Amino acid sequence: KNEVEQSPQNLTAQEGEFITINCSYSVGISALHWLQQHPGGGIVSLFMLSSGKKKHGRLIATINIQEKHSSLHITASHPRDSAVYICAGTQGGSEKLVFGKGMKLTVNP
Amino acid sequence: DTAVSQTPKYLVTQMGNDKSIKCEQNLGHDTMYWYKQDSKKFLKIMFSYNNKELIINETVPNRFSPKSPDKAHLNLHINSLELGDSAVYFCASSPRLAGGYNEQFFGPGTRLTVL
């Protein structure tokens, strides 16, 4: 079992919809990263959080440490949000990121 | 202005060859990483260096040898390439040790195809 699990694996939405991408992780993960990989292949870090909530533009990331769960929300989705969203956990006490398998989001106009 | 750059972007080569991928970051970061993304798009860490010192060495075949001539550069040399080495290799950097607790900045990736 992977230490970081994402659901769903694929999601198709209509422009303007509110989207939630989920990530659950196992004991030993002490921080969560959300990454975005566009069809061209480049990877961009969206958030790193170890508690609470962070917001950047239309993106909101939350983490619930007790439930070992994080969510990435996209408000007013747009076709340019189409990408693979990857959740990655920091193994406590190390440099190491452990990655989820990613979720492919397609936002249709 | 590129923060983390990799060369080449594409690399096609025959089995058994030796090849290198170069990575440079101009962000002044102390820590650099190599990640491998397989055909199923699954990312996995290979190596991490902090100030030219090896910090993480995941169970990677010893045909893979990272080299950090200075803290701005982390190159990946691969000997005796095998079909299974075909993947996209990403370099990344972060501001300091405990990079797992810092935002990481990724290079554009190098798509390696072994024929």
Mean pLDDT by 10 residues, chain B (115 residues): 90 97 95 92 90 84 92 95 96 75 89 97
Mean pLDDT for all residues in chain A: 92
Round the CA-based radius of gyration of chain A to a whole number and report it. 13
Task: Count Cα atoms within 13 angstroms, Cβ side, for A39.
Answer: 7
pLDDT score at B40: 85
Cβ contact, residue pair B48, A96, below 8 Å? yes
pLDDT score at B109: 96
Question: Is A89 or A7 the better-scoring residue by pLDDT?
Answer: A89
Q: Which residue from A minimizes the CA distance to B50?
A: A95
| pLDDT, tens digit, 9 for 90 and up, residues A74-101 | 999 999 999 999 999 988 777 688 999 9
Are the C-beta atoms of residues B85 and B34 closer than 8 Å to each other? no
pLDDT score at A8: 85
pLDDT score at B99: 52
Q: Tell me the C-alpha distance between B72 and A45, whole Å.
A: 20
pLDDT score at B4: 96
Residues A43-71, mean pLDDT to the nearest whole number: 94
Q: Which residues of B touch A (CB under 8 A)?
A: 31, 33, 40-45, 48, 50, 55-56, 58, 88, 90, 92, 97-106, 108-109, 111
The answer to whether residue A60 scores a pLDDT higher than 90 is yes
A14: its two tokens = 């209509």
Interface test with A, best of B29, B41, B44, B53 (most A CBs within 10 A): B41
